[in-house]
Structure formats: C-alpha cells, structure tokens
Amino acid sequence: MSTTSTISKKSAVADPEQVSETMPKRKKMTVPAFTAAKGGKPLVCLTAYTAHVAHIVDEQADMILVGDSLGMVIHGMPNTLGVTMEHMIMHGQAVMRGAEKALVVVDMPFGSFEESPEVAFRNAARLIKETGCTAVKLEGGREMAPTIRHLTNRGIPVMAHVGLMPQQMNTAGGFKAVREKDQFDEVVKDAQAVEEAGAFSVVVEGVAVRLANKITKSVGIPTIGIGASVECDGQILVFEDMIGLFPRVPTFVKRYGNMEEMMRDAVERYSSEVRARKFPSDDYTYKMKTD
C-alpha cells in the first residue's frame, strides 16, 4: 500500500497540454447542470464508498452516489436496513476526499427521514455539513413529496428513488421488481409527485422496460435507471457489483471486471511466497545506508 495519505488530483493527467487539445475540459457537475442533461447524452453514475475508488470513478462519472448499499457490499449486512447516519457520514467523507468533478450525492439511511420533514431536514443537513456532499437521496414516492418539498425549499437538493425500494423490502416481501401492468400508474404518479415536490432527479430501480419509458416521458427531471433498461436518462450501478467484487449478481448487473478472481489470485501467490520464504526478496528490503 502507498504511504501517501492524500489522493493526487492530477494522477490521471499524464500530459496536461496534450489532454487539453484533445478533450473538452470537464467542469464540476452542479445540480442545475445535472437536471439540464435530461434527454441529452446519457448520464453516467456509479456508487463509491472509499476515497481512491471515488478518485477513479470521478474520471468518468457525472454523479457519484454514496448509497446505503454500502451496508451490504462493504459491511456484510443482509440488506440496507441496518445502515446508520454514522456509516453514511464516514463513507461520504472518504468519497469527498477522492471526488473532484462529479456531483456527490449521499443516501439517507432507513429511519433518518421517514418520521417527519423536520427530522429529515436535521439529518440531511448533517450529511451535507459533515461530508461536504452537494445533495441527498431518499427512497419514496408520493408519501415523501412533502418531505422533499421541505428539504428543497430549505437549500437541500434531493434525488428521489422510486420503483423497487430496498428500504421497503419487509413490507414488499423481498426485493421485488415492478413488472405487472396494473402497478405502472402508481409508479408514474410517484415519479411525477417527487418532481412536483422539487426533486432534481429520480432513481428508477427494478422496473419493466415499458414502465421506464413511461416514467422518463412523464417527468422533466432525469431518470437514473438501475435495472430499469436503456429507457432512462442515465444509468447507475453499484461499483462492487460492476467490477465483480460481490457474489450476488442480480439480473440487471453486468460485470465489467472480475476483481474477486484477481484478488484471490494475489492472496494465493502472496501466501505461497511467504510460506516458501520467497517474499520479501532483496528488492523489497531496506539495505543499511553504508551498503
């Protein structure tokens, strides 16, 4: 591991002059710019939970979500319900140390916003003050509209989340995708209600292609899909799922790498070299200064 404690913001740029000639300079993504991207080039979004991953993702992503899926993919929880404000703040702070250009959004964990708009404001303000993130995300449709209105009226940008809502898994009886035609209108109404309440964008999770198309056409804010087809204004995946570092693979996850295999291989080779006294060899050993 490197002993450098801060993330170099420039490490991705080998020759700044050459890069500026060939690539348009990326500006810091703002909430109004994100909303204005509706219907344009698809928005690229990913989760990140550590500073260095945020630094890597930031090179491409328009938005980085510090999602409560961190409870499952980082902390080994069976679902997201046990995630606390302290988890979100600690990972939010780490991500903010690595991100430079992308819009950083932090999820409101289960139990931190449902009770009342006032409780939601207190917790959302804490996420923003203690992490430095720009916006919060919360799960819920029409029932959360008054809370979204309360937050946005007081300076807190909100990304909403409709369709499959993992925090409602106990009432839904599991992680259930929305695929029945008679459920479609309810989800469209949810998306319209959160837009009307002031949400700047909405995550649409686990819905059939036709419903994703209907929602995207019915709202003026960007729809960010996860398991919601190409019919959305942007896409998001959980980073650990996408790089092959988490064993559960839902239908909608495409693995763009197999990090688990690479890590297992590295641990195996290290172990056998330690056991054979091959590591550390001379190359990895301090010599006396007078040698």
State yes or no: is 205 an active-site residue: yes
CA dihedral (102, 74, 239, 95) in degrees, to 10, reads 10
Which helix (H) or strand (E) segment holds residue 139: the answer is strand 135-139
Nearer to ligand KIV, 68 or 231 (CB): 68
204 binds ligand KIV (CB under 6 A): no
Q: In the complex, what is the shortest distance from the CB of residue 136 to ligand KIV, in angstroms, rounded to a whole number?
A: 12
Does a cis peptide bond (omega within 30 degrees of 0) precede residue 32?
Answer: no
Residue among 95, 199, 212, 236 that touches ligand KIV (CB under 6 A):
236
Nearer to ligand KIV, 192 or 235 (CB): 235
Strands 223-226 and 234-237: parallel
The kind and range of the H/E element at 174 are none
Q: Which of 139, 195, 205, 240 is catalytic?
A: 205
- 54 scored as a contact of ligand KIV (CB under 6 A): no
Determine whether 252 is exposed, middle or buried from the number of CB atoms within 10 Å of its CB (0-12, 13-18, 19+): middle
195 binds ligand KIV (CB under 6 A): no
* Torsion from C-alpha of 119, 125, 127, 132, nearest 10 degrees: 180
**79 or 279: CB nearest ligand KIV:** 79
Of 63, 95, 136, 226, the one binding ligand KIV by CB under 6 A: 226
- Nearest 5°: CA angle at 30, between 99 and 4? 10
Only one residue has tokens 């698809």, namely 42
Give residue for tokens 């064993």.
247
Q: Which of 211, 238, 243, 245 binds ligand KIV (CB under 6 A)?
A: 238
The answer to the question of residue 138 lying near ligand KIV (CB under 6 A) is no
Q: Is 231 in the site for ligand KIV (CB under 6 A)?
A: no
Among 53, 63, 67, 121, binds ligand KIV (CB under 6 A): 67
The one among 43, 47, 113, 138 contacting ligand KIV by CB under 6 A: 47
Which residue from 49, 55, 69, 148 is in contact with ligand KIV, where contact means CB under 6 A?
A: 69
* Residue 23 C-alpha from the chain's centroid: 25
CB 29 within 8 A of CB 63: yes
Residues that bind ligand KIV (CB under 6 A): 47, 65, 67-69, 107, 203, 205, 226, 236, 238
**Residues known to be catalytic:** 205
